[in-house]
Amino acid sequence: MRFVGSLIAAFLLVPLSVDAARVVYEGLPSGRVIMAGARQAKPYLAVAGKQGLILSLEAPDAYEWRRGEVSALDYAPDGDLWVGLNGRFYRDNLRGSGMVDRTASFKPFGATGRLFVSRLGDVWLSKAAAMRRHDGLFVPSGFSTADGLTVEPRCDDPFGNVWAAMVDGEGREMGLAVRTTNKPGEWQRVTLPAEMSDGWSGLCMDDVGFLWLATESVILQLDPRRRGEIKRAFQVPAKSGITCIARSPNRHIYIGHRDGSIHELTDPEAGARAMQPIDRLPGGPIRGMMHHAVSGFWVVVGEKVYRRAELIRSWQRAWAEAPLMPAGNHDNLCARIGDKLYSAGGKTYFGWPATEWTNLDHVWSYDTRWRVWAVEAPMLEPGKAYPGIAAFDEELWLIGGYFRAGKGTRATATVEIYNPATKKFRLGPEYPAARGQGAALTVNDRIFVAGGAESNAGSKEMFSIGVGEDEWRPEPPAPGPLIQAAGCVIGDKMYIASGVRSECPGLFVYDAAKRQWSTVKHPSETPPAAPLVTAWRDEVWVMGGRGKSSGETATFGYSTESGGWTRGPDLPLPVSWGAAASVNGGILIAGGAYRVKETGGFFNSDRVFFWNRR
């Protein structure tokens, strides 16, 4: 294990666009603070204890929701709230049905203990013999009480792992454990530096896949991509002792101090991390913090709850965070059926250590009404990634794709058809050629698949199929060899964006009625490769993608009526190979990949953002 120490000696002040924090609630009882719902529609705050309290944080104020003996609180990805109250454990769907007692199913040892709900919907109680899986089944929790320590799950990561604190009888965090996709039936102890073994008070995951722990004077960064490796440790001046840490929306973390001050641990372009002052609030130590996707930054100091409706970076003026994907993913194009978006067959690093590629060969869905992600059925061909994806006659068509073959890939011509109503697959008419990464789009009563690759070289070929047909029909070839392309449909026309590698000047346009191709030039000198693309009304939005040597954040909308381009707001991340869709009057982007300088490689993002254009 490599341990790198770094002394933070400078406090760098970077101009921020902020509103002053104001008190929204007074009179909190003493006790452990729980904050839930950072990316949900409405966040909640609880104070654990016999005289506990749960608040609904409805900007610009906070309101009492429940009083009593509070032990636990967390959001599930389906929008339900799980609550430990008065010695019982409840599930509330927050849609008028009320709280349902689920205590007996968890087989608690005594008190209900602390709670954690994973992004997939797995529900853990720290003092229970059973946990609830996201499919609704209750199975043994597998908690270990070796050395008199209790396992308390606290957070998950983009690689499919759950991280837990090992807690002593007085509630102090004395060790770290992980439950991985590699060994799902057990908790594995993680070795920590000596200075972290005397108790620590913070554990959270940032937005580039690093796990953070904190004692009163040390902050430690652990990388799940490298087993047991401590990436960095930072000494914080003792006079500003740490009381809590929380995720920052800017790929970093917030640090709350005993003197009421708040800092953000940032990464300036010079390369050395630094503590950036955010605020100093009166009333004692910082007890809890949470950045909410819409309502701002919530802070608990003493008996008061503060809210700051801040805009820390310019992207937050246009883009709001949405619930995370089930895992980090890229090449995860999507298609819409009814109120849901469907994706399948992306590729990422998975497990612990997250060093091996995994093909995510399940269907994923996103409910646009409730903002909920779910992992649905596995494909018929296990281990497949990068199929063309299109919605057709209320079903999801997955055309071709890649398998791993030694150090390379092997393409397939299989067509799989998924029925969301029955959640079952069947085989469709085989595609005329083995291809992966084909641009699949539906125009009226036909699916068109353009390009794709058998290995690394794109193809100009295009085929289509209609309702009730059992053979693919040849279509006029594309103007260039399409690979890593994305597209959308407006009227009777397909608009496909790619880059120089596909000989695309910006957009390839196919008129399905006339069976003719044309081109549109992109405003940039070099059109982006692997961009995110969606239709919004009569406009084709081409966002992010790869430039000459790096990822881009620029967004451009092409009007199919006027023939002109409009510059849109920059993306929050320089992301490529991701999904985009028009939903709820705006534009949603999900997943994709971009380089992270802390690791020197690509990070497969699990983040989702929404641009409200209404």
Asked if the model's pLDDT at residue 167 lies above 50, the reply is yes
The per-residue pLDDT for 549 is: 84
**Separation of alpha carbons 286 and 191, rounded Å:** 29
**Separation of alpha carbons 252 and 18, rounded Å:** 18
In this prediction, residues 11-29 reach a mean pLDDT of 66
Structure tokens at 454: 């058998």
Question: By percentage, how much of the chain surpasses pLDDT 70?
Answer: 92
Asked if the model's pLDDT at residue 461 lies above 90, the reply is yes
The per-residue pLDDT for 88 is: 93
Q: Is 501 helix (H, G, I), strand (E, B) or coil?
A: helix
Nearest to 526 by CA among 508, 551, 555, 506: 506
Do residues 44 and 52 make contact, with C-beta atoms less than 8 angstroms apart?
A: no
Do residues 101 and 88 make contact, with C-beta atoms less than 8 angstroms apart?
A: yes
- Each residue's pLDDT tens digit, 24-68: 999 999 999 999 999 888 899 999 999 999 999 988 889 999 999
372 Cβ neighbours under 8 A, 6+ residues apart: 77, 78, 79, 323, 366
**Separation of alpha carbons 610 and 111, rounded Å:** 40
Which 8-state DSSP code applies to residue 105?
Answer: H
The per-residue pLDDT for 406 is: 79
Question: By percentage, how much of the chain surpasses pLDDT 90?
Answer: 66
Look-up of token digits 């652990």: 222
Which band of pLDDT confidence, cut at 50, 70 and 90, is reported for residue 272?
very low
In 184-241 the beta strands, taken as DSSP E runs, fall at 188-190, 202-205, 211-214, 218-222, 230-235
Mean pLDDT rounded to a whole number for the chain: 89
Asked if the model's pLDDT at residue 355 lies above 80, the reply is yes
In this prediction, residues 225-253 reach a mean pLDDT of 79
CA–CA distance from 147 to each of 10, 174, 177, 460 (Å)? 40, 11, 13, 63
Structure tokens at 5: 């120490």
Asked if the model's pLDDT at residue 16 lies above 60, the reply is no
Number of H helices, E strands in the chain: 1, 54
Asked if the model's pLDDT at residue 384 lies above 50, the reply is yes
The per-residue pLDDT for 212 is: 92
In this prediction, residues 538-545 reach a mean pLDDT of 98
Which 8-state DSSP code applies to residue 527?
Answer: P
- Each residue's pLDDT tens digit, 395-443: 999 999 999 887 788 999 999 999 999 999 999 999 999 999 999 999 9
Q: What is the 3-state secondary structure (H, E, C) of 312-380?
A: CCHHHHCEEEECCCCCCCECCCEEEECCEEEEEEEEEEECCCCCEEEEEEEEEEEECCCCEEEEEEECC
- Each residue's pLDDT tens digit, 569-600: 999 999 999 999 999 999 999 999 999 887 88
Which band of pLDDT confidence, cut at 50, 70 and 90, is reported for residue 149?
confident
The per-residue pLDDT for 208 is: 92
Q: Is the peptide bond before 505 cis (omega within 30 degrees of 0)?
A: no
Look-up of token digits 């992207």: 315
pTM here? 0.92
Asked if the model's pLDDT at residue 238 lies above 60, the reply is no
Which band of pLDDT confidence, cut at 50, 70 and 90, is reported for residue 15?
very low
The per-residue pLDDT for 170 is: 81
The per-residue pLDDT for 192 is: 83
Asked if the model's pLDDT at residue 247 lies above 50, the reply is yes
- Each residue's pLDDT tens digit, 481-536: 999 999 999 999 999 999 999 999 999 999 999 999 999 999 999 999 999 999 99
CA–CA distance from 438 to each of 399, 457, 608 (Å)? 8, 12, 24
Q: Is the peptide bond before 60 cis (omega within 30 degrees of 0)?
A: yes
The per-residue pLDDT for 17 is: 36
The per-residue pLDDT for 194 is: 76
**Separation of alpha carbons 309 and 18, rounded Å:** 7
Classify each residue of 207-217 as buried b or exposed e, where b means 16 or more C-beta atoms within 10 Å of its C-beta: bbbbbbbbbbe
Asked if the model's pLDDT at residue 271 lies above 50, the reply is no
In this prediction, residues 226-255 reach a mean pLDDT of 79
Asked if the model's pLDDT at residue 380 lies above 70, the reply is yes
Which band of pLDDT confidence, cut at 50, 70 and 90, is reported for residue 267?
low
391 Cβ neighbours under 8 A, 6+ residues apart: 335, 336, 337, 342, 397, 442
**Separation of alpha carbons 49 and 190, rounded Å:** 30
Pick from 40-49, 111-120, 186-195, 348-357: least confident: 186-195
Which band of pLDDT confidence, cut at 50, 70 and 90, is reported for residue 113?
confident
Asked if the model's pLDDT at residue 10 lies above 60, the reply is no
